[in-house]
Amino acid sequence: MTESRLVGRLGCYAALTDAEKSFLGRIEVQEKPLGNGQTVVRRGSNAHRVFVLKEGWAIIRSEPVRGRSSILWIHLPGEVIGLGDMAPSAAPHTIHMQTDGVVCPFSRDSLGELLRDLPRLSALLVGLASLDQIAMRDHCAALGLMTAEDRLVRFLLQLRLRLALADSVSGDRFHLPFNQAEIGEAVGMTSVYVNKLLRKLSEQGLIRVEKPYMRLLDRAGLEAKIGFVDRFSDLDQSWFPNPRAA
């Protein structure tokens, strides 16, 4: 049986116990296939469920302002949707599938069991949610401080890194299921300017566009160019409780 991407992603940070794997397996039992563009969570709906994104990509999109919206965050295979939205009783944002995929909904009540019985796994999920929040703050800073070209480079580097952690990519070629307008919504520029910058980076020998894939031809050079910081590999586990035996 193929190991779930959620188990694989968490396993990048800690060797999971049988009890922890068993819990993760139970929350992935109920599968719900969704097509590209279908809604996972609608803004204002009752936020009583959390989702494992088993297959596919999903996006959190802002509410339109004067006909324009932004892509606030991208969820990748093996991630949990909704952990960062637990405080309010209603969902704060709408989340759509960016590709065809499969989500596994589970009740927030299951998180009570997790906190009670598996504190180390709880700490791991909290820690990963914290890394996501830090990366989102970096993104907000980049929108105001970085050049358009550097924002685009950062977007590509971060996606490749997150996909690698989910074991969805090896090397520097990765699936990028976004058109240029959607890339623009994620990095704060028009589709015309995205097209211009992609052509420029291609001509410089830094990337190669292989729709629907992207290849980074000089990842080290791109990282040095923008001072890229890996926010996803440094997870301090010194405060984690010891895992409980099954």
Count CB atoms within 10 A of the CB of residue 208.
14
- Domain at 136-226: CATH code: 1.10.10.10
What pLDDT shows up at residue 168? 66
| pLDDT for 32 beyond 80 | yes
Give the residue among 34, 126, 125, 129 at the shortest CA–CA distance from 73.
Answer: 129
Confirm if 106 and 222 have CB atoms less than 8 A apart: no
Q: How far apart are CA 76 and CA 141, in angstroms?
A: 22
Q: Where are the domains of the chain?
A: 5-118, 136-226
Angle at the Cα of 167 (from 236 to 26), degrees rounded to 5? 80
What pLDDT shows up at residue 1? 47
Q: At the fourth CATH level, which superfamily is domain 5-118?
A: Jelly Rolls (2.60.120.10)
Of 38-42, 50-54, 65-69, 176-180, which gets the smallest average pLDDT? 65-69
The pLDDT of 72-88, averaged and rounded, is 89
The pLDDT of 179-192, averaged and rounded, is 96
Burial of 122 per CB tally in 10 Å (0-12, 13-18, 19+): middle
Q: What pTM was computed for the model?
A: 0.92
Q: Which phi and psi (to 5°) does residue 104 adopt?
A: -120, 100
